[in-house]
Chain A
Amino acid sequence: MAAMTTSPAESVSAPPVHRRTSPGAWMKMNLFSNWYNSLLTVVFGALILWAIYALVKYLIGVDTEIIRVNLRLYMTGRFPSEQLGRLWGAIYVATATVAFFARATVRNAQMKATEAGLDFERSHWTDVVRRFWPIGALILFTLSFTETITPTLLTLVAAAIGLAAYWLGGMMPTWLIHRSWIIVVAGVVGFYAVLVAFGGVGWDLWQGFFVNIVMTVAGISLAFPLGLMLALGRRSTLPAVRVLSVTYIEFLRGVPMITLLLMGAFALGFLIPGDFQFSLFLRLLIAITLFQSAYIAEVVRGGLQSVPKGQVEAAQSVGLSPWKTMRLVVLPQALRNVIPAMVGQFISLFKDTTLVYIVGLLDLLRAVTISMAQPEFFAQGLEAVVLPFAALYFWVGSYVMSRESRRLEKKLGVGVR
């Protein structure tokens, strides 16, 4: 009797056995567990080997002349060469802003944690490298196609400026840390001023991959607040606001973005009196913003629906105003719950910036197709070189964004209570 009761208890308390599986056993378990798995392994193995062989053969034989010649066209389009200094200046401003803002965010979190009596663990610099290495690798990859050493040196300067700004951010006064939006506004104004002020280059000449990045950043920062407002409008108690929001959201979600771009390119001019016309860049930015805000509104709505009613009631019972209830209680939880969907929407906005190709703005994709039609590169099958090259830039951007969203989701413990 005693023996019978102790034996299961023993097996429970015994530490789990970690057995190192031998390669043979691993293969048996994961590749050849039964006859159809073996068949699948053989067929897929052959296919994958063939694909690797084809890829290696292609990579050895590939002629990157077209990329080396056209790299500047890809990155900046027809940005006037005597003004390129401004572009580097703008990149420096952007780098410094990001570094400064990152430091402010870290210090803000640190102060909040100390206030609440929590441990604060600063992420190690190796973590940052691990998170963003695809972007660094892509920059190195791009620099490997440059013909002179200058761009590499200028990139190193950018890295130095970023580090310096991060270090300087350590001396930031407390009031600035609490109002970090000032840094962003100053950065945006500085960025624009460096590019445009005193006979600079207006945004009609912002081209190449640069325009994809600017459109993505500007599109996200404009479409997000608009989407938020639309989502709140959809829940409004005023029927007129609600009906307008719903109509707007459902209409824009029902049509392709191209129709909006066509409208921006051809029909917007009809709605606004002749002497007051937007540039193509601005019209396309408006089209992208309007389009994406409808999708973001739906994402936010999902988040708002996921916040339990009790949260609102609790906020009301401690006497918070409706605005404060929304800002301090509902929205933080709502947005946290929809991080993956939201970032997914940002990724799709990033990918959608290529659609400006169709109405003739010279973005990365357009630059690539222009280079394919150049007389010295025409009809040599170089599409298979330059299109994957362009795809790499979008892939890295989207991949890093989606990985960050997964990290953030895990860190904030979404779905874990």
Chain B
Amino acid sequence: MVGAFLYLGNNLRNELIAKNLPTDFSFLSQPTGVTIADSDFDPGSPVWRALLAGIKNTFLLVIVGIPFLTILGTLIGVARLSTNWLVAKAATVYVETLRNIPPLLIILFVFNAVILQLPPPRDPATPLDWFVISNLKIMGPWLTSSTGVNALLIIALIAAVVAVVVGIWRTRYSEQTGVHSHRVLWSLGVFAVIVLLGYFITGRPVSISIPELDGRVITGGFGGLGAYFAVLIALGLYTASHVAEIVRGSILAVPRGQTEAANAIALSGFQRLRYVILPQALRIALPPIINQYLNFTKNTSLAIAIGFAEITLITFQLIGNGYPAPQLILILMGVYLLFSLTISLLVNILNRRLQLVGN
């Protein structure tokens, strides 16, 4: 075994030297020659910066995609069990269609048949005058800050702490007196009041910025490339179909007696789901859903097919620019392993908390 590794390692070294490539990681500080669309990335900056930019783009997909697919998947999973025949059938068709099609094909479809069919950048659509939508970029309103925003951020932080304290106080109060706590409403209310007060005290440092079209240049607002949205939508829809199946299976796995008990104490349909079924189903569903999150993260690498500059595409381009493939692929795999390990770590902590609350 060790001999095999030494043999392969030796081959690798010889081949790299024969092809006049570096055998170590010193190439990371050389200039890239890679350009990244929709960013002020300088092709002259070192390789490691390009990799970092790629990681950032992958992260942007994951951080927006996971909430999106979770909400959509849960809704569809619950819809499959709906007593409403039409809703249940529609959800079934959705799941059975999407989960049997390769994700790469869905990405290509959404990109070519939806995003690229949007109006061209020189004549974009501007629905409500709040959005600027073209096949290159999709922009929406966002917040801009001016001086004093740091003070407001500190106030918001304090408000968050106060809100948590209020939440704890309401929970205790409710436990002692039996009065309904309304802790979420209380916390959010306190938070909103403090932040709103702070907003006026600090001189209104945050305002809404609406994207404006100036020729072909869009100023203000916030959004992303069409390719970004194509990957996000396609993978979100695909992964949601898998999450829906998990949610459905987990709800079915909650013993029937629980539903009957909830009915016996006259809970409404919503209350039954919210307080009895979903908390128990969540505990069953969490491990397989983490797996889907990991799959989503790994599938973001398919963005390479439509040219969204996430880490895999950057690596691919760097290899094309003559940087050594073995080292770069090693780094790429390391990055994904890091992503995977981080997500499983975070959700394992959550999982343990859920289990403790249950017991």
Contact = CB atoms under 8 A, between A and B. Distances in A.
B312 interface: yes
B84 A399 contact: no
B85 A31 contact: yes
Interface string A201-218: 000000000000000000
A390 B329 CA distance: 31
Interface stretch (A37-45, A87-95, A141-149): A37-45
B153 interface: no
A114 interface: no
Nearest to B344: A254
A44 B294 CA distance: 32
B105 A387 contact: yes
B12 A271 contact: yes
B332 interface: yes
A41 B108 contact: no
Q: Chain A: interface secondary structure? A: helix
Contacts of B294: 254
Interface in B87-102: 87, 90, 96-97, 99-102
Given A270-B11, A274-B15, A354-B102, A40 B113 contact: no
Interface in A334-366: 347, 351-352, 354-355, 357-358, 365
Contacts of A33: 83-84
A262 interface: yes
Interface stretch (B32-40, B161-169, B296-304): B296-304
Contact of B336 (A244, A254, A271, A351): A254
B201 interface: no
A255 interface: yes
B142 interface: no
Interface in A243-276: 244, 251, 253-259, 262-263, 266-267, 269-274
Nearest to B298: A256
Contacts, number: 148
A5 to B, nearest CB: 27
A253 B319 CA distance: 24
B143 to A, nearest CB: 32
Nearest to B97: A395
A259 B332 contact: yes
A259 B312 contact: yes
A355 B302 CA distance: 8
Contacts of A365: 102, 104-105, 108
A19 to B, nearest CB: 18
Contacts of A257: 298
Given A30-B85, A31-B85, A347 B329 contact: no
Contacts of A402: 100
A61 B120 CA distance: 25
A273 B84 CA distance: 64
B112 interface: yes
B326 A31 contact: no
Interface in B142-171: none
A254 B329 contact: no
B258 interface: no
B113 A384 contact: yes
A151 B136 CA distance: 43
A352 B299 CA distance: 11
Contact of B301 (A244, A254, A259): A259
Given A270-B15, A381-B117, A387-B112, A41 B97 contact: no
A372 interface: yes
Contact of B11 (A273, A394, A395): A273
Which 6 pairs from chain A and chain B are nearest by CB? A398-B100, A256-B298, A383-B112, A266-B325, A30-B85, A351-B102
19 contacts: A31-B85, A33-B84, A40-B82, A40-B87, A41-B84, A44-B84, A255-B333, A255-B337, A256-B336, A262-B312, A270-B11, A270-B325, A271-B8, A271-B11, A347-B100, A354-B105, A358-B104, A369-B108, A387-B112
Given A256-B298, A273-B11, 13 more contacts: A30-B85, A33-B83, A41-B84, A45-B86, A254-B337, A255-B332, A262-B315, A271-B11, A365-B108, A384-B113, A394-B100, A395-B97, A398-B99
